[in-house]
Amino acid sequence: MNQQTADILQRLRASDGFLSGGELCREFGMTRSAVWKHISQLRGRGYTIEAVTGRGYRLGKSPDVPVAAEVSPLLSTSRFGRSLVFEETTDSTNRQAKMLARQGAAEGCVVVADRQTGGRGRMRREWVSPGGTNLYVSVILRPAVSPVRLPQIPLLAAAAIHQALAGFGGGFDTHIKWPNDIVAGGRKLCGVLCEMESEPDMAHFVIVGIGLNVNFRHIPDSLRDVATSMAICSGREYSRSAVLAAILNRFEPLYDEWLRCGDLGPLLPYLEEHAWLTGREVTVDRYSGSLTGRVTGLGGDGELLLRDADGRLHRVTSGEATIRK
């Protein structure tokens, strides 16, 4: 959608009723046929626009597609989402965001796709990414912090997502599963995958990839016991644009506070309150091997505190945690 089409859409959205073609012509300095072309483009994208001779145009139903024209009016951020790239289909929003970051894209630039053909979660697992139902989002960050702090970013993102979802209600409880998942009813609702390019003393950029099951109802049999969606949990559907805007509106202030404070301190009580693993027996799979014990909480740097059968306390900084049956 080009900028003129987006501007006409916003003008229609701001109108209480019909907006005359003549007024649009004067406001945007174009002919009636040019206005009609923009209206036709919007209709082609799924917008319902009523046209009545002598009265003009009135916007009806909007499609559930998280494009900039739908997300931007809902943002309260200064940076996050103000530059938004939407793709109907891409292999991976993280891959595209990395490419943009290498080309100099500003912090807060967001890549969104309606569908992914090569979506991946942690441990390079496939992330099922059908079109028209979910959110597949990547946010470019350029934190001026020591690389040792970067593993805390998935927890920042998870907290922002958790806060955003709480604002939609729906009658279902969500929890934060260390280090990067949101679960509802014990099933995965959302995953966060962070990738970075850095040197020993500085990060060039961090890509925060978010996969959130929003209106996903036809979950494959192989995932039915481990995955869920907002629609399945609540019995109703949600605007993907509104959900994305809510996440970005929560994420930016949490991220800025984290930059100012130098650690996770202010956020730790929230993470502890909504933690899914605390008090549970888990096995954490790491690249260096697995570790089993009972989770006692989180450390100041976001590490998982785990006490093994011999009573030794381990501070786990990364890994995949599985609850033991």
Which CATH number goes with the domain that contains 295? 2.30.30.100
Strands (E), the chain: 49-52, 56-59, 84-90, 110-116, 135-141, 175-177, 181-184, 187-199, 202-212, 281-286, 289-298, 304-307, 313-316, 320-323
Once rounded to an integer, what is the mean pLDDT over residues 254-272? 92
Whole-number pLDDT of residue 122: 56
Residues 41 and 117 in one domain: no
Amino acid, res. 146: S
> Which residues span the domain enclosing 140?
68-272
Residues 24 and 138 in one domain: no
Which residue reads 């991976």 in tokens?
Answer: 92
Q: How many domains does one find in the chain? A: 3
Residues 124 and 226 in one domain: yes
Q: Is the pLDDT higher at 126 or at 269?
A: 269
Residues 168 and 297 in one domain: no
Mean pLDDT is lowest, of 125-129, 207-211, 238-242, for 125-129
Residues 87 and 229 in one domain: yes
Whole-number pLDDT of residue 99: 96
Which CATH number goes with the domain that contains 101? 3.30.930.10
pLDDT at 139 over 70: yes
Residues 243 and 286 in one domain: no
Residues 158 and 46 in one domain: no
CA atoms within 13 A on the CB side of 297: 8
Residues 48 and 18 in one domain: yes
Whole-number pLDDT of residue 121: 56
pTM value is 0.86
Q: Which of 42, 59, 76 is the last residue of a domain?
A: 59
Residues 263 and 310 in one domain: no
Model confidence at 126, pLDDT cuts 50, 70, 90, reads low
Mean pLDDT is lowest, of 13-17, 67-71, 179-183, 233-237, for 13-17
Residues 182 and 40 in one domain: no
Q: In whole numbers, what is the pLDDT of the chain averaged over residues?
A: 90
Residues 73 and 210 in one domain: yes
Whole-number pLDDT of residue 119: 64
